[in-house]
Amino acid sequence: MVRHNNQLPNNLTQLQNLIKRDPESYKEEFHQQLAHFHTTLEIFYLNPTQYNKKLEEQAMFLAQVAQCYINDMKTYPQKIVDILKTHNTVLHNEMRMALCKCLILLRNKNFISPFDLLELFFTLLKCQDKNLREFLKTHIITDIKNMNAKHKDMKFNTSLQNFMFSMLRDTNAKAAKMSVDILIELYHKNIWNDHKTVNIIADIGCFSKITKVMVASLKFFLGRDEEEKKEDSDSDEEVDPRDTMISNKFNKKTRKREKMVDKVKKIAKKIKKKKEKAPAFNFSALHLINNPQGFAEKLFKQIESSNERFEVKLMTLDVISRLIGLHSLFLFNYYPFIARLLMPHQREVTRILQFAAQASHELVPPEVIEPVMKAIANNFITERNSTDVMAVGLNAVREICTRCPLAINEDLLRDLVQYKNYKEKSVMMAARSLIQLYRQSMPTLLHKKDRGRPTEASVELKTKKYGEMEIKDYIPGSEVLLEKQTVEEKDKKGKDKKGKKGKKGNDSDSDDWVDVASSDSEINISDSDEDNDSDNEEEVEEESEDEEGEEDNEDEKTAKDRDPSKDEEQKEDNIEDRKILKAKRKNNKQDKEEKINTAREIAMGTIFTDEDFKRIEAAQVKKHISGVKRKSAVIDEEEEESGDLVKLSAIENIHKKRKHDKSARLESVMKGREERDKFGYKDRRKNIHCSKTNREKRKTKSYQMVKHKAKGKVKRSFKDKQIAFRNYLIKQKKMR
């Protein structure tokens, strides 16, 4: 049968479609196209730099139908690989891209092994073609991701990782940079997030002679802090959208309620998005380094002898400071190096202060970190500087002392604390934050008047020496659980008594039962003022022995002016008071020992539940505020806990309104107007082209136009009504 109008040799897309449907019927046409490909390829070898569109179309056609003729296409992938290996640098950009796409098609059909293809693509990263490099990068990442989707092939991953690590040492800057980018992307996608990948980037990437590779590796260890932004406040989540929506159905429709419904709908959408969004746990790569001490020393040695840009040096200092703070390393030469850069006019000085705070920990000797503290005190916290500079210096001292309380000596601390009464609010607040820090860590370093009212927690604090660790063999606060058990036992006894006596029971028994039941409730942080005051008196008496002696001396001086008989009585009273105080101190010590023993016994004999831990936490918080009446004295544990990293906002936090120029003010105003309805009167028409009601039109008219209607609203007198009614009757009579 002769085929009329046969255009299949020229129309490859139609032939491709037909072959996929019925390969056997069009086998002859396929062989014809395969022969054409071989002849075109021989012509192409004569001038490989020239773009050959016919070869590109035939290569793509054969890659599309390769699975239909497996035996005939066995050698085809190797021919494409040979072209790219031999002529990769001289090929035309479009020709090179087309051949790579053919190989990706063949890889998806398992005509070529993944390792051979990825090895070829890594060599192609050296080409001077940015689009090709980005295309190959995305393919390499997706291919490795797909291969490790169901289960991780450790043998393949190890061989491929070794090859990629060798590419990092390549002298070609573009190939090495692309290799680092691929490794970092695979780590962030949780595909190659093992310690081997991290340590290779640390050992090779951070010490590469190619600046771009080194910067990319340092950024990898610094994490993605810049991209992380604070979400909206939790106040939106407190509103229940369903209650407002239901109540609006039955209540009267008003504009205020409609606005409230719209607002609640937006909040509901935000809550839904937050719930749907999976929590991202970004585990820092710095934790996976095998030898952090050696890595930090090599980085510091590199920065001392490098001639890189200032920004690159800052990144290196940041990585070193994070390593020191995270792993509690000893790198004593780092602190004098940082101290030389601590000047108010230094570029990025707040970040350098942040690095000094990050590199401080409890095991740093005070004499080692002393140059940093002196530099901050002498260069920042002086009245010859501006108030902002002084506040930043005090904030930096506070952040360093948070992690290393012994970094500052008693004399310097008391000097800095004197700024608590400074005329500028920014300096005053920074100094008071330093006082608050040492009230909770080492109150004995402060002057007595700055220690504040003593609490149970502050009494338990001890001034630690360098290297001293406080290890407890019990859970502090667990003695509260014993109180709960005794209360429950009393509660049962009270119920039994009440059940036996019934209605004939005494009123006193019922009162006792009520008191026991009320004490069974959870520990309330804000107890009655009387209990706080009584506890306070005992603690103040324990803390201030010297003050009592001074008061006694003053009483003796004033007593000399009095009668001798009264002096003797006063002395006897003082002796009795001292005996009472000594007895109270002994009782308090015994109570503390008993609490520790009970806590130890409870920890050894019971398994704590979540409710038990809540009660223990409440009891520990209560210790911080016992004896304090104000709510502001409650300590926020989340704020008290210092994380691994120092936030730059903690150092730059200046308590005052900053001056804005006109452009900045307008920018903030326009930003506040986003997603907000237009200001002014709204006529509430769904279609702006339809007419308004007379009532709406009246609001835009002048008073002269509507005063006759306003006048009609005034109530008429009885006489005016009579006259109007008479005129109406006369008019009706005439009409008849």
Name the packing angle between helices 27-46 and 12-21 (round to 10°).
Answer: 140
For the segment 497-537, what is each residue's pLDDT rounded down to a tens digit? 555 544 444 444 434 333 333 333 333 333 334 344 434 44
User: CA triplet 685, 689, 695: central angle to 5 degrees?
Assistant: 50
For the segment 666-716, what is each residue's pLDDT rounded down to a tens digit? 888 888 888 777 766 666 777 878 888 888 888 888 888 888 877 666 677
Q: Quick one: tokens of 247?
A: 């109540």
Contacts 24+ apart (CB under 8 A), 229-236: 231/274, 232/270, 236/267, 236/270, 236/271
pLDDT, residue 240, reads: 56
Q: Which amino acid is at 519?
A: S
Q: Could you tell me the pLDDT band of residue 18, with boundaries at 50, 70 and 90? A: confident
Question: Coil, helix or strand for 136?
Answer: helix
More confident residue, 371 or 574: 371
pLDDT, residue 281, reads: 44
Write the DSSP string, 138-194.
HHHHHHHHHHTSSS--HHHHHHHHHHHHHHHT-S-HHHHHHHHHHHHHHHHTTSS-S
| Domain identity same for 257 and 333 | no
- Residue 341 to residues 151, 384, 404: CA-CA distances in angstroms? 50, 19, 21
- Alpha-helix runs per DSSP H in 65-153: 76-87, 93-108, 114-124, 130-147
> In this structure, how many other beta carbons lie within 10 angstroms of the beta carbon of residue 247?
12
Helix/strand/coil (H/E/C) assignment for every residue in 559-591: HHCCCHHHHHHHHHHHHHHHHHHHHHHHHHHHH
Rounded mean pLDDT of 259-266?
Answer: 78
Sign of CA dihedral 412, 413, 416, 418: negative
| Domain identity same for 177 and 250 | no
| Domain identity same for 135 and 192 | yes
For the segment 344-398, what is each residue's pLDDT rounded down to a tens digit? 999 999 999 999 999 999 899 999 999 999 999 999 999 898 989 999 999 999 9
Task: For residue 472, tell me if it sits in a domain.
Answer: no
Q: Which of 389, 309, 301 is nearest to 337 (CA)?
A: 301
**Is the Cβ–Cβ distance between 501 and 509 less than 8 Å?**
yes
Burial (Cβ within 10 Å: 0-12, 13-18, ≥19) of residue 568: exposed
| Domain identity same for 503 and 580 | yes
| Domain identity same for 197 and 85 | yes
Residue 485 pLDDT greater than 90, yes or no = no
Task: For residue 283, tell me if it sits in a domain.
Answer: no
Q: Which of 2, 87, 11 is nearest to 52 (CA)?
A: 87
pLDDT, residue 696, reads: 80
Q: Could you tell me the pLDDT band of residue 400, with boundaries at 50, 70 and 90? A: very high
Task: For residue 461, tell me if it sits in a domain.
Answer: no
> What secondary structure letter does DSSP report for 453?
S
Residue 723 pLDDT greater than 90, yes or no = yes
Residues sharing a CB contact under 8 Å with residue 589, sequence separation 6 or more, in sequence order? none
**Chain centroid, CA 711 distance in Å:** 65
Burial (Cβ within 10 Å: 0-12, 13-18, ≥19) of residue 395: buried
pLDDT, residue 276, reads: 64
d(CA 103, CA 109): 10
More confident residue, 561 or 480: 480
Task: For residue 88, tell me if it sits in a domain.
Answer: yes
| Domain identity same for 120 and 154 | yes
CATH number at residue 131: 1.25.10
**Is the Cβ–Cβ distance between 97 and 132 less than 8 Å?**
yes
d(CA 231, CA 155): 42
Task: For residue 423, tell me if it sits in a domain.
Answer: yes
| Domain identity same for 167 and 312 | no
Task: For residue 460, tell me if it sits in a domain.
Answer: no
Task: For residue 667, tell me if it sits in a domain.
Answer: no
Task: For residue 375, tell me if it sits in a domain.
Answer: yes
Residue 539: CA count within 13 A, CB half-sphere: 23
| Domain identity same for 26 and 58 | yes
Q: Quick one: tokens of 204?
A: 């090779």
**Is the Cβ–Cβ distance between 615 and 523 less than 8 Å?**
yes
Q: Which amino acid is at 660?
A: H
| Domain identity same for 142 and 256 | no
Residues sharing a CB contact under 8 Å with residue 133, sequence separation 6 or more, in sequence order? 125, 127, 174, 178
**Is the Cβ–Cβ distance between 183 and 197 less than 8 Å?**
yes
> What secondary structure letter does DSSP report for 424?
S
- Residue 74 to residues 68, 69, 106, 409, 630: CA-CA distances in angstroms? 12, 9, 11, 79, 84
Q: Could you tell me the pLDDT band of residue 457, with boundaries at 50, 70 and 90? A: low
Domain count, the chain: 4
| Domain identity same for 124 and 23 | yes
| Domain identity same for 62 and 178 | yes
Q: Could you tell me the residue range of the domain that residue 299 belongs to? A: 291-453
d(CA 721, CA 727): 10
**Average pLDDT, rounded, for the chain:** 76
CATH number at residue 435: 1.25.10.10
Rounded mean pLDDT of 330-351?
Answer: 92
**Chain centroid, CA 381 distance in Å:** 30
Q: Quick one: tokens of 489?
A: 């036992």
Query: With b meaning 16 or more CB within 10 Å and e meaning fewer, what string describes 268-305?
Result: beeeeeeeeeeeeeeeebbebbeebeebbbbbbebbee
Q: 329 phi and psi, to 5 degrees?
A: -85, 165
Q: Could you tell me the pLDDT band of residue 164, with boundaries at 50, 70 and 90? A: confident
> What secondary structure letter does DSSP report for 380?
T
More confident residue, 156 or 97: 97
Rounded mean pLDDT of 29-52?
Answer: 89
d(CA 496, CA 513): 10
d(CA 582, CA 281): 55
Residue at a domain's end among 585, 601, 627: 627
| Domain identity same for 312 and 428 | yes
For the segment 65-124, what is each residue's pLDDT rounded down to a tens digit? 888 888 888 888 889 998 988 888 888 889 999 999 999 999 888 888 888 888 888 888
**Is the Cβ–Cβ distance between 622 and 525 less than 8 Å?**
yes
pLDDT, residue 245, reads: 65
Residue 232: CA count within 13 A, CB half-sphere: 11
Burial (Cβ within 10 Å: 0-12, 13-18, ≥19) of residue 677: exposed
Q: Could you tell me the pLDDT band of residue 492, with boundaries at 50, 70 and 90? A: low
d(CA 167, CA 188): 20
Rounded mean pLDDT of 571-595?
Answer: 61
